Chain A
Amino acid sequence: MCFLFPTAGRLAAACVLAVAMSLPARAELAQPTGEQVLKIDGAIAQTNSEGAALFDLEMLQALPAGEFATTTQWTEGEKVFKGVPLKALLQSVGASGSTITATALNNYSVDIPMDALKDDAPIVAYSIDGETFSRRDKGPLWIVFPYDSGAEYQTELVYGWSIWQLATLTVSE
């Protein structure tokens, strides 16, 4: 039913709202209690603020986690990354788009097609070797792929998607 208003952004927002309204069974997203680390907006069904879902670290840590060990070109040695798989995270907010625009704290942003997401990768990592990592140390969130597990994760595209100091995810059609 969303394709009835394909060209109008405003109407699209209304459509998303309508979808969100139409899913009353879903549990309401809790309000972040700690420092907000992530904002998801765009075509999502679940929100806890105006048109967006805001997360603090605790909320993220409350979601089912995934972890893997890998080396990266930005860190030294093999590290164990732990975080919420991006796909699960987006599902938790009822994202329904085809593209995710990930934006970092320095406003660097990159578009990740929804098709590229797998159940376990990438993850939105919030800990390295069991430790959370600070904003100064490319934290607190980082989209990480298991680079060592296959050639498909060693492409320029994947490296580009590996955005650190992740701040915002925007789901769009």
Chain B
Amino acid sequence: MSKFFDEALEESRLTRAAVRVRHVLLGFTVAITLGAMGYVFVKIDRELDRSATVNSDNVTWTLAQVEVDALKLQRAVVAASERPGDPKALDDVRLAFDIFYSRFNIVSRSDQMKDLPVTLELRKTLWSEDAFFDRVTPLIDGDDAALSAALPALRQEVARVADESRAKVVASLQTLMEGGDSRRNELRRSLQVFASAALGLLGLMAGLSVVIILQNRAQSRRSETTERAVHNLRATIESSLDAIIISDALGQITDCNAAAETIFGRSRDSARGVRFAQLLSREGHEDPLASLHQMMRTGSPELQDGRLQMTATRADASRVPVEVALTEAKGASGEPMFIAFIRDISERIEREESLRKARNDALKGEEAKSRFLAVMSHEMRTPLNGLIAATELLQSSTDLDQRQSWLSEIVLSCGWAALDQVNNVLELTRLGSDQSASYQLSDFSPAQVIRDLILQNQPHAAKRGNVLQFEGADTAPDKVTAPRQLFLRVLYNLIGNAIKFTDAGNVTIRLSATPRDHGTKTHLSVAVIDTGIGIAEGDLERIFHNFETLDASYARMREGTGLGLGIAKLSAEAMGGTIRVTSALGKGSTFTFDVTLPVAVEAEDSAAQNAPMADDDVPALNILVVEDNPINSLLLTEMLRLRGHTVTTAIDGIEAVDHAARTPFDMILTDISMPRMDGLEATRRIRREGVCRKVPIIGVTANASPEKMPEFLGAGMTDVLVKPITRAALMAIIATYARGATRNRPRTIDPVATAVPFLNPDVFNETIEEMGRDFVERIADRLLHETESVIVQLTDLGAAGAYEDAGKAAHKTAGAAAAIGLSGLHSALSGYERAAQAKDGKSTAAALAEVRRVLPGTVAELRARGLALALTRAAAE
């Protein structure tokens, strides 16, 4: 397109240059020609003038006349001398003399003849002193007698004058002819020059004609180009989708295009003369044209790509949002003018609006989803919490026969499994919502975390016949500061995944560490290498997607929601790490978790200082339980009453505040989300005034987000207990705050209390290796049955106060449990033994509860390791 304009510009530039050159040439030529013509003209004029004033024929005649008159005089004198005494003859002499005299007078005075011999020389003869006229005139003027007497002498004299006249006239004619020749030549030359000049001029004119023709041709070509360019420009402007308005410097519209007619709803004619400000306006700008112009010059940031948003007013007073760009130009006579390009952006704005709305809707949807999940987690975790706690209570506080115990165990393990899934989903939601920065940092040993995980996963691995190994812990730093929860989650999922897809193979966890930043940081690379089924290369991308299992049939083969790797990936990323995977189908996969973490600064272990009181030391407290869910309320109440505490219940914040105002409780446990008034508001009010304003208030919530902690604490809560509430966690927190102890630092309590593992995998695996699986199975089965019986026995003995016997019984079973690596059971029974030895009823009861708690976990763990425990305790019985 611009080619046309360039062409036109180039053309007119060339033309301008050519015109300048031509003007100079033309001027030069005209000056020279005029000069030459003038010169020649003057010359010819002079020549002609000369030939006009000097009529050579006339001069010749006059000259000849001198001789004629001289001869006439001679003849008159001769006649008079032949007729002496004739007065008529004498008069003729006088007349002839006068004529000759006058003739010579004329000749001698003539300008043209002054240089001729006839004038110069004859004058001497005739006119000088004592010459012819001097001597003869007195005779002529004298009387007849004197004249007659003088005639003979006069006759001779006149003859001589006549001869001389003739000679001089001839000489003069000669001179005249020569002069005439030269003058003619001169004239001829002048005429020749004139003719040449005229020819030259003709040539020049011919040349000029050619130039003019060429110029005309160029001119027409240029005007054609210009016309084309103008046409193209007009077509461009006219067909432009943007409205184009041309205004003068005062903002008065001089022209516009069709699009402008459409946008402004005005015809071109009615738009002309309208002021710019009448068509376009912008809030806060009185003269939009001037402000736009100003902005353009100063490069105001308000301009987006040189455009400014304005409002166009249509002829029918409706308003349209537009975008305006401005260009300065010059009119034909150089006056400044403005060209405004106006784009109707109402559609765009509508689109933007709908996009914004869609986005907001989507965000709202996302929020709603998050809320939904949070609520779901609350609503699901609460009943699960109830389920688990109730089952625990059932197991620990009532006598169950073996079948009941077995069934309750199933309820418990199913409850835990469901809770695990809910937690997974919740975790994924949390990770996905990009609030990972709020994960709490703690100092931990990566190697230890891995070792613990291996210990935990040993049963799973064994169940599938896999060997779980840990390599290369040496280089790892003692401790790093990082969100332990995330680190753990990454590896938990990777290891779990590896075990899940490997049968009778190896799962190796290889930890390597490289110091970074002068040892203040460490780059950890944890590779989880399995010899499992592997993943096809094409599927490598997909496996990290949520809910992704590689195919449906496969998914059925392996339990799982498909969330594991997604959680691992998101967790790794939340820590600033990455997970890589390499795999060969049928040969195994290697998942490598790379992350750079700061090395923990060594500090004294403060845990000891903050050790909670032993369960035994907790005095009976008067506790207010605020919980809207009756089951949870009941469970919590039961748990506390079981430990000798006095419990008052409230179903919401208002009731709680009411109770707290009247009764000086020792501690308040409150749910967070409740109808009417939530836990936070209740806490604030209790803290404000009343007898309970200084008692520990423990928030009980299913929402375990660390980021909520400041809010809870800010409301005045002393600490937070995360649901589901396990006995141990509950006891621990009550022990901590039992005597008005103040919270030293905020902490979250892992929802799953992991005290002593159910199994010591080393011992357990050793035993299996040495004694064989069948043996261990039988022993374990027997031991579990025995534990069942012991629990019944201990309950009875404890109730009877026969602590010594009970301690012994517990010790016996504990020893057996330790022998095959059932560390959890061992620990619990040992605890009972200690309590029994101390003869403390309360702590024995607590220890017994712990034994009861550990038992189902142990059973599950053993099953997970593939032991066929006579299938069930009930069946064994």
Contact = CB atoms under 8 A, between A and B. Distances in A.
Contacts of B101: 136-137
Nearest to A75: B109
Contacts of A75: 109
A73 B109 CA distance: 8
B55 A106 contact: no
Given A156-B55, A165-B99, A73 B69 contact: no
B98 A73 contact: no
B98 A159 contact: no
A165 B69 CA distance: 13
Contact of B105 (A105, A138, A159): A138
A76 B105 contact: no
Contacts of B105: 136-138
Nearest to A139: B102
Contact of A73 (B68, B95, B111, B137): B111
A70 B465 CA distance: 158
Contacts of A164: 102, 106
B729 to A, nearest CB: 144
Contacts of B99: 105-106, 135, 165
Interface string B61-89: 00001001100100000000000000000
B507 to A, nearest CB: 138
B102 A137 contact: yes
Interface string B376-420: 000000000000000000000000000000000000000000000
A134 interface: yes
Contact of B72 (A74, A106, A135, A165): A106
B110 A135 contact: no
A148 to B, nearest CB: 14
A73 B110 contact: yes
Nearest to A108: B65
B58 interface: yes
Contacts of A74: 106, 109-110
B109 A135 contact: no
B58 A135 contact: no
A146 B110 CA distance: 18
A156 B112 CA distance: 14
B93 to A, nearest CB: 13
Interface in B46-67: 55, 58, 65
Interface in B240-289: none
Contacts of A105: 95, 98-99
A43 to B, nearest CB: 28
Interface in A116-173: 134-138, 156, 159-160, 164-165
A127 to B, nearest CB: 16
B850 to A, nearest CB: 156
Contacts of B65: 106, 108
Name the prevailing secondary structure of the A interface residues.
loop
Contact of A106 (B69, B110, B111, B112): B69
Contacts of A156: 55, 58
A138 B97 CA distance: 12
A52 B72 CA distance: 27
A136 B104 CA distance: 10
Contact of B98 (A76, A136, A160): A136
A135 B101 CA distance: 9
Contact of B102 (A73, A76, A138, A160): A138
Interface string A73-93: 111100000000000000000
Nearest to B68: A106
Contacts of A76: 109
Contacts of B111: 73
A160 B58 CA distance: 9
Interface in A8-34: none
Contacts of B103: 106
B95 A135 contact: yes
Nearest to B112: A73
B55 to A, nearest CB: 5
B538 to A, nearest CB: 120
A101 B750 CA distance: 161
B58 A165 contact: no
Nearest to A167: B95
Nearest to A138: B102
A164 to B, nearest CB: 7
Contact of A134 (B55, B69, B98): B98
Nearest to B57: A156
A111 to B, nearest CB: 16
Contacts of B95: 105, 135
A125 B57 CA distance: 26
A69 B24 CA distance: 54
Contacts of A135: 95, 98-99, 102
A137 B98 CA distance: 8
B58 A159 contact: yes
Contacts of A138: 102, 105-106
Interface in B292-329: none
Contacts of A108: 65
Nearest to A104: B99
Nearest to B69: A106
Contacts of B98: 105, 134-136, 165
Most buried by A among B99, B103, B111: B99
A159 B97 CA distance: 24
B95 to A, nearest CB: 6
A73 B58 CA distance: 12
A105 B92 CA distance: 11
A1 B95 CA distance: 42
A96 to B, nearest CB: 31
Contacts of A136: 97-98, 101-102, 105, 137
Nearest to B103: A106
B775 to A, nearest CB: 164
Given A135-B95, A159-B58, A165 B102 contact: yes
Contacts of B102: 135-138, 164-165
Contacts of A160: 58
A160 B110 CA distance: 15
A110 B319 CA distance: 107
B685 to A, nearest CB: 136
Contacts of A159: 55, 58
A165 B105 CA distance: 13
B161 to A, nearest CB: 16
A164 B72 CA distance: 17
A57 B97 CA distance: 21
Contacts of B110: 73-74
A138 to B, nearest CB: 5
A145 to B, nearest CB: 15
21 contacts: A73-B112, A74-B106, A75-B109, A106-B65, A106-B68, A106-B72, A134-B98, A135-B98, A135-B99, A136-B101, A136-B105, A137-B101, A137-B102, A138-B105, A138-B106, A156-B58, A159-B55, A159-B58, A160-B58, A165-B98, A165-B102
Top 4 closest A-B pairs, CB basis? A135-B98, A136-B98, A138-B102, A106-B99
Given A105-B99, A156-B58, 6 more contacts: A74-B106, A75-B109, A105-B98, A136-B102, A159-B55, A159-B58
Interface of B: 55, 58, 65, 68-69, 72, 95, 97-99, 101-103, 105-106, 109-112, 137
